[in-house]
Structure 1
Amino acid sequence: MKIIIPVKRVLDPYTQARVNKQTQQVDLSNAKMAMNPFCEIAVEEALTLKEGGAATETIAVSIGTDKTVDTLRTALAMGVDRAIFIKTDSELDLQPLHVGKILANIIQREEAQLIIMGKQAVDNDNNQTGQILSGLLNYSLGTFISKFDLSSDSNSVEVSREIDSGIETRKLNLPAIVTVDLRLNEPRYASLPNIMKARSKPLETIELSSLGIDTSPRIKVVSVEESGTKDRASKQISSAEELFTELNQMGVL
């Protein structure tokens, strides 16, 4: 069974995002970048399945400019078998529908039976690509999963997904797409030997233009503003009565 893990290069979640007021976009110049945290969890789950003998091959896929290769190298250093890099123009702003179409093309070409991906990317927080991809491919879908169990015959998976009212358990027939949540696992660190090995692992580059996919934008970003975290304040309270008084003074109650 082949497993494909889409991964995304994002602004390091532990750094403060800055907005370029001229371009009305997040300023990524000289910014520290990293693999999307949810994608790291997806990579870890795929590697666990491979180490348990349930998968024959793990493939990381990422879309972006040349610098995106660093993210794929990170996945390879964690233990992924090979990587596919979809190279785009530096000015291209891909939206979830575009990403879904690109991934669908690669998944069909590779004939992958299981796609494990993050539930969302921490830059745009769209939480759409997995659902769009399921619709395009007509694959089973499990979202926000916090537990994953592959059947003994590798024909289905049982997933637990977090919903507003609790935990929902579903059985999905393969081929399937699952989007992972934070509580599924703890991603491993890439060891130095694996980082060295990653340099020799296969990394295929595909020009986006060769896929014949329409990437014209469906959504227009009107403006981007920095959050007002500097203006926020906190206060420690000692009782429910004090909390009630504070909320009442704020006009919440």
Structure 2
Amino acid sequence: MMVSTRRPRVLYADIDGTLVGAGGSLFATAEGMPTAAAAEALAALHRAGVALVLVSGRTRGRLAEVARLLGAAGYAAELGALLVDGPDPDAPVIRCFGAYRGRVPPAEAMARSGAGALLLERFRGRLELHEPWSREPREATLLLRGLVDPAEATGALEAAGLQWLELLDNGRLRRRSSHLDLPEVRAYHLVPRGVRKAAAVRLHLERHGWSPEEAWAVGDAPADLELAGIVGTFALLGEAAPDHPPNALLLGRAGPEGFAEAVAALLDRA
């Protein structure tokens, strides 16, 4: 395994399943047991002068308050569609909408296109809206849950003339649905083609003049794994990744304990 040996300047961190555990709590393990591991790791990160930037599928409104509470230097919301480069309320917001060039927000164009309804009908019994979070106002994405092949779903969109959209896998959910009889339930984001956490991270690095070797990232989902191609070292928590890149550090524990382990490895190189 090859990992970066440069002094880290920034850590790009996923939230759900990575920084927080059961119930979305900073103080609960993935299994729901009390822990202060993530809080202690965050304190160590700040003491070392390493910037924290959150990258998440959550909305910009939700991330703004989380970023303030955690002392983050910025955040990328809606799977990288919105990059907020700074901790202040008036920090610049860069819209990273991939190939989308429409005049209305992508989420509005998405709703008009009927793409969500198409997928829900095509994968009836295997896909549904990720309520209640799917009801939150979004600028660029639609939040779904279930168990489908993202490539098959994207192919269905292409066949319907919606080539500008694709479905991304954002990881396993602990919350089960009473309407879906599935062996597991995963979170999916319907996004404009090209929207990626990795694209937002690349832009953030460029804006700050940092090299990939000065950056780490940590996450737990396929949508996070692409960050390995942007940063010097990537820590993958929980999920197996048989085709992981050479700079990936595989950590079996998910949630705050895995995050703390990743931060400890990061600071060992500081």
Shorter-normalised TM-score: what interval?
under 0.3
Normalised by the length of structure 1, the TM-score is 0.28
Normalised by the length of structure 2, the TM-score is 0.26
Report the structure, 1 or 2, having the larger strand content.
1
Whichever of the two has the greater Rg, that structure is: 1
